[in-house]
Amino acid sequence: APPEILMLRPMHTVVAEGLGARHTLHRLDTAADPEALLAEVAPRIRGLAVGAQTPVDAALMDRLPNLEIIANFGVGYDTVDARAAAARGIVVTNTPDVLTDEVADLTLGLLLATLRRIPQAERYLRAGRWPEAPFPLSPSLRGRRIGILGLGRIGQAIARRLEGFGVAIAYHGRSRQADVPYAYHPTLLGLAEAVHVLIVVAPGGPETAGLIDAAVLRALGPEGVLINVARGSLVDEAALAAALREGTIQAAGLDVFAKEPHVPAELIGLDNAVLLPHVGSASHHTRAAMGQLVVDNLLSWFEGRGPLTPVAETPWRAVAGTS
């Protein structure tokens, strides 16, 4: 019998189309009675296709005794308890690489929008205010030092783009990286003190929760700008709103929030914040590529060729011809 796969919530059409052909796909999102469907199919489910909206915790894994693989749509997989999966011998995959350039592009767009106040300028024009007076002068990227928290695949793609803008680049992460020409700071506080812009692109989850706190924002200083394209959980949002309101930092550009899709009203009320609805990877091109990688991980697994992009917590031996 074809392997049975469960989808909890709506996902990109590429996922359902790609899986439907060779697998039996059960969809809780379109089921009349999701709980009844889950109870019926749970013992037969061997694969799970998930997006960031649904946490996959140990309790769910325990309801699926024959689960072999969890394929996550997204490079970040903080909503999947990967350690619990590892303990049960379940492989977790994510979607690295295919979204790197897209997210890096968006980050540069958000950085420039925040500094040069592009959305505010556009609102000014649409409000008919241009004839009254020119739009007020904005802060600038010129002469700034940029700090990157998390110099992984996406962080490095952002840094490569920033090189073209002629700005100094520094970074902080768990360890210094060989072969990168950027200044390493062993502490986040040290990095925040040394730069004017802090770009957050580190993984979410308990280990990084609340890293950007009041002390880091104070260190960033009155000309400081915070850009977050990672996870809202890394930032103390109340401290950030206070820092923006009181001029502790100059501005912030945020693509992610702690309780998406809820955005604190306090942030929405601030003119020095540029706020986006988590669109870092959200182009037709890149979302299709991410969906295809979810499908390809599952196809590869059920053809006995191993996962294509397993996460660090559930490593897999390299399979000849696939790496």
CA dist., res. 239 & res. 233, Å (int): 13
Q: Which two tokens stand for residue 134?
A: 């020119």
Q: Is 150 in the site for ligand 8YV (CB under 6 A)?
A: no
Residue 54 near residue 79, CB atoms below 8 Å: yes
Instruction: Give me Rg for the CA atoms of the chain.
Output: 22
What residue type is 155 in one-letter code?
A: G
Which residue of 3, 74, 150, 253 would you call a contact of ligand 8YV, by CB under 6 A? 74
Please say if 278 is a catalytic residue: yes
45 forms beta bridges with: 4
How far from the centroid of its chain's Cα atoms is residue 203's Cα? 7
Residue 79 near residue 73, CB atoms below 8 Å: no
200 forms beta bridges with: 149, 228
Please say if 262 is a catalytic residue: no
Q: Is 107 in the site for ligand 8YV (CB under 6 A)?
A: no
Under rule CB under 6 A, how many of the chain's residues touch ligand 8YV?
Answer: 9
Residue of this chain nearest to ligand 8YV (CB atom): 76
Q: Is 301 in the site for ligand 8YV (CB under 6 A)?
A: no
**Closer residue to ligand 8YV in complex, CB, 257/302:** 257
Q: Is 76 in the site for ligand 8YV (CB under 6 A)?
A: yes
Residue 214 near residue 238, CB atoms below 8 Å: no
Please say if 260 is a catalytic residue: yes
**Closer residue to ligand 8YV in complex, CB, 76/173:** 76
**Closer residue to ligand 8YV in complex, CB, 10/210:** 10
**Closer residue to ligand 8YV in complex, CB, 29/62:** 29
Q: Could you list the residues that contact ligand 8YV (CB under 6 A)?
A: 51-52, 73-76, 99, 280-281
Q: Which residues are catalytic?
A: 231, 260, 278
